[in-house]
Amino acid sequence: MRLKTLTLIAALGFSGALATNHAFAAPIPVFETDFDGALPTEFTPGTALLTGVQGYAGLGPAGNQFGGNFLRSATGNTVNLHLDNLPAHDTITLEFLFAAIDSLDGTGTFPAGDYFRIVFDGTILFSESFANALPSQIQSYVPPPGVELARHVDLGFQGPGGYYTDSAYNLGADPRFLNFAHTGSSVNIDFFIFGEGNQSLDDESWAMDNLRVSVTTSAVPAPAAAWLFGSGLLGLVGVARREV
């Protein structure tokens, strides 16, 4: 085997090991709730209420289904989640089930539309409209595969006159919520709908269930492993020189 070929193989193995060592470690959960007990103190709910999920019960993948209570908020109200003392991390992930309830009006000029927005530390992560009227309204949100759980179904929160229905989504399966850059020791998350002003729970609302926040850090290459690969590389070079 020629020196250049042997050296190249060893170098590729070394760089591959370093790349592997830079892979992300397992996610570290920093907050989770199913809303079936008292509302966690990390929330500032505004007018949001813990409410029975009614017809949403059982929707969702195994181990992550609507059940018991969820946190239901009127449009025009902001729900805030604030977390402190996060471990060192490079990315953060948000997972939850989302209920679009009653007369959410989607995108349009009249009504003006209802957009669900999530803001992380002042930066907009998500801003999409949701529509529950069939078939006259449209929504901007196009769910990726596995996200939509129900659409235009009466799930127990029928709006005025029965014209509107309900919808359900597993937003934790939407890639935009997974492993986005974040390094701060605290995080401030706002959830709200805007566009129609302040509405009552009897008119239109949204809810969340099974909310989980986790962080991830990239692994640092182990110095010992790097030294061993370096030593191996030098040894292979020496062998190759003797064979030339």
Using one digit for the tens of pLDDT, what is the confidence trace for 117-172? Answer: 999 999 999 999 998 876 667 889 999 999 999 998 889 887 555 677 899 999 99
Which tokens belong to 37? 């007990």
Report the pLDDT value the prediction gives residue 23, as an integer from 0 to 100.
62
Please tell me the CATH code under which domain 26-216 is placed: 2.60.120.260
Position 9 pLDDT exceeds 70: no
Which residue pairs from 123-128 have beta carbons closer than 8 angstroms and sit at least 24 positions apart in sequence? Answer: 125/94, 125/176, 125/177, 125/180, 126/171, 126/176, 126/177
Q: Where are the domains of the chain?
A: 3-20+221-243, 26-216
Position 241 pLDDT exceeds 50: no
Please state the pTM of the whole predicted model. 0.80
Torsion angle, alpha carbons of 36, 42, 48, 50, to 10:
10
Report the pLDDT value the prediction gives residue 161, as an integer from 0 to 100.
56
Report the pLDDT value the prediction gives residue 102, as an integer from 0 to 100.
85
Which tokens belong to 141? 């949100």
Report the pLDDT value the prediction gives residue 105, as an integer from 0 to 100.
81
If you write DSSP's letter for every residue of the chain in order, what string do you get?
--HHHHHHHHHHHHHHHHHHHTSBPPPEEEEEE-SSSSPPTTEE-TT-EEEE-GGGTT-SSTT----SEEEEEETT-EEEEEE--PPS-SEEEEEEEEEEEE--B-BSSSS-B-EEEEEETTEEEEEEE-B-BTTT-B-S--PPTTTEEEEEE--S---GGG-B-EEEEEGGGSGGGSSEE---S-EEEEEEEESS-S--TTTEEEEEEEEEEEEE-BPPPPHHHHHHHHHHHHHHHHHHHHH-
**Which of 33, 95, 34 lies closest to 66 in space, CA to CA?**
34
Cα separation, 119 vs 188, whole angstroms: 8
Report the pLDDT value the prediction gives residue 111, as an integer from 0 to 100.
55
